Amino acid sequence: MKLKTISETRSHGGTQGVYSHLSSATGTEMTFAVFVPDHAPDAKLPVVTYLSGLTCTHSNVMEKGEYRAACAEHGIIFVAPDTSPRGDDVPDAAEEYDFGKGAGFYVDATCDPWSKHYRMRSYIESELPALIAAHFPVDPLRQSITGHSMGGHGALTIGLRNPDVFRSVSAFSPIVAPSDVPWGEKALGRYLGKDRAAWREYDAVALIEDGARLPELLVDQGTADNFLEDQLQTRRLIEACATAGIAADIRMQEGYDHSYFFISTFMADHIAWHAGRLNA
């Protein structure tokens, strides 16, 4: 669990760092960002992990997400990993923005040539939390998860599969039913193969249909999002949560699009919402 410090910068009464390490899950060097607010020397802080969307790295939310002031206010560590393995030896689909590098979809791939390195589920669920706990002042019993678009899909599915690990789950513009939309069909089909039954553990609506539960959920979705109808299909998550009795606050935000202008507008709301559950 050796960690390399790439940079550390003071911000909002805390330290914004960027770090890398050799991942056993992906077999590659992985880079991630961590914001740690100032705290008492012996304090153990809650942590929110943010999963980014297609084409993004750790830097997108770090530079445009506007989370630091809220995290400093509530005493929360914010972790932002990359979206896929990287490196010259990692297979890619260079002409396709929605598959390969930058588009790991938070799955453990089972099909060649992707299965060797594309193991983002294991990385996010197991390796990264252990690494963070070993190097930062976190309370491992107080974890939450959120994300945007593909990362919203990751946050929902990881949260639904691990309800005893994450005290709260939220998302911005998530892909809620990837088994039935073009982005998801492409990614799940090529990473996991043709058996759609194997896709269900990576599909939030399917997981809920199959019995997975969360006590509550917060989702923000812009009504002017050009991906809303074809790729995101928020209405399906609303219907699934209603049928399952999940207390889901799914807010349709009038006039907002899919960009970080939207995410940054509601980021402080999400941090405060997670803080209420992490600090309870």
Place of tokens 């790991």: 104
Asked if 79 contacts 50 with a C-beta cutoff of 8 angstroms, the reply is: yes
Q: Which domain holds residue 172?
A: 4-278
Marked catalytic residue, from 153, 258, 270, 274: 258
CATH code of residue 16: 3.40.50.1820
Average the pLDDT over 91-117 and give the result: 97
Report, as an integer, the average pLDDT of 148-159.
98
pLDDT for 50 beyond 80: yes
* Burial status of residue 94 (CB atoms within 10 A of its CB: 0-12, 13-18, 19 or more): exposed
pLDDT (average), residues 196-216: 98
179-187 long-range CB contacts below 8 Å, 24 or more apart? Answer: 179/203, 179/206, 180/233, 181/230, 181/231, 181/232, 181/233, 182/230, 182/231, 183/54, 183/98, 183/150, 183/231, 184/105, 184/153, 186/98, 186/99, 187/98, 187/99, 187/103, 187/105, 187/107
Cis peptide before 113 (omega within 30 of 0): yes
Is the pLDDT at 204 greater than 80, yes or no? yes
Instruction: Provide the pLDDT for residue 1.
Output: 76
Tell me: pLDDT of 43 over 80: yes
Percent of the chain with pLDDT over 70: 100
Catalytic residue among 84, 144, 149, 173: 149
Work out the pLDDT band at 124, boundaries 50, 70, 90: very high
Active-site residue 258, yes or no? yes
Catalytic pick from 92, 108, 220, 225? 225
pLDDT confidence tier of residue 83, bands split at 50, 70 and 90: very high
What pLDDT band is residue 257 in, cutting at 50, 70 and 90?
A: very high
Mean pLDDT of the chain: 97
pLDDT digits (tens, 9 = 90+) for 59-81: 999 999 999 999 999 999 999 99
- Averaged pLDDT for residues 52-63: 98
pLDDT at 280: 79
What's the number of domains the chain is made of?
1
**181 falls in which pLDDT band (50, 70, 90)?**
very high
Q: What is the pLDDT of residue 203?
A: 98
